[in-house]
Chain A
Amino acid sequence: MQTKRMTFTNNRWLPYLLLAPQVTITLIFFVWPASQALWQSMLRQDPFGLRTTFVWFRNFERLFADPHYLVSMKTTLIFSVSTTLLAMSVSLLFAVMVNRMIRSRDAYTTFLVWPYAVAPAVAGVLWWFIFNPSVGILPYMLRGIGIEWNHRLESSHAMILVVIAAAWKQISYNFLFFLAGLQSIPQSLIEAAAIDGASRSKRFWTIVFPLLSPTTFFLMVVNIVYAMFDTFGVIHATTAGGPAQATNILVYKVYRDGFIGNNLGSSAAQSVVLMGIVIVLTVVQFRWIERRVNY
Chain B
Amino acid sequence: MVENDRWGIFLAHLILIVGVAIVVFPVYVALIASTHAPGTFLQGVMPLLPGSHAIENYSTVIFEGRSNAGAPPIGLMLWNSFVMAMMIAVGKIAISLLSAFAIVYFRFRFRIFFFWIIFITLMLPVEVRIVPTYQVVANLGMLNSYWGLSIPLIASATATFLFRQFFMTVPEEMLEAARVDGAGPLKFFKDILLPLSVTNIAAMFVIMFIYGWNQYLWPLLVTNDEAYYTVVMGIQRMVTGADSEPLWHLVMATVVLAALPPILVILFMQRLFVKGLTETEK
Contact = CB atoms under 8 A, between A and B. Distances in A.
Interface of A: 1-9, 11-12, 14-16, 18-19, 21-23, 25-34, 36-37, 40, 90, 93-94, 97-98, 100-101, 104, 108-123, 125-130, 132, 134-137, 140, 168, 171, 173, 176-177, 180, 187, 190-191, 194, 200, 218, 222, 229-230, 232-233, 236-238, 240, 251, 254-255, 258-259, 264, 267-268, 271, 274-275, 278-279, 282, 289, 292-293
A70 to B, nearest CB: 19
Interface stretch (B53-61, B62-70, B71-79, B148-156): B148-156
- Name, among B99, B175, B185, B214, the residue most crowded by chain A CB atoms within 10 Å (CB to CB): B214
Contacts of B27: 118, 126
Nearest to B164: A1
Contacts of B151: 25, 29
A40 B134 CA distance: 14
Interface residues of B, number: 108
B181 interface: no
Contacts of A40: 131-132
B111 to A, nearest CB: 8
Interface in B39-56: 41, 44-46, 48
Contacts of A18: 98-99, 101-102, 106
5 contacts: A2-B168, A6-B176, A16-B102, A97-B15, A271-B132
A26 B277 CA distance: 23
Given A3-B104, A4-B172, A117-B214, 13 more contacts: A3-B105, A18-B99, A19-B98, A21-B99, A22-B118, A32-B136, A119-B259, A132-B248, A134-B245, A180-B278, A233-B236, A254-B130, A254-B131
A254 B125 CA distance: 13
- Going nearest first, the 10 A-B pairs with the smallest beta carbon separation are A119-B214, A117-B262, A33-B132, A36-B132, A18-B102, A15-B106, A274-B128, A233-B216, A126-B26, A29-B152
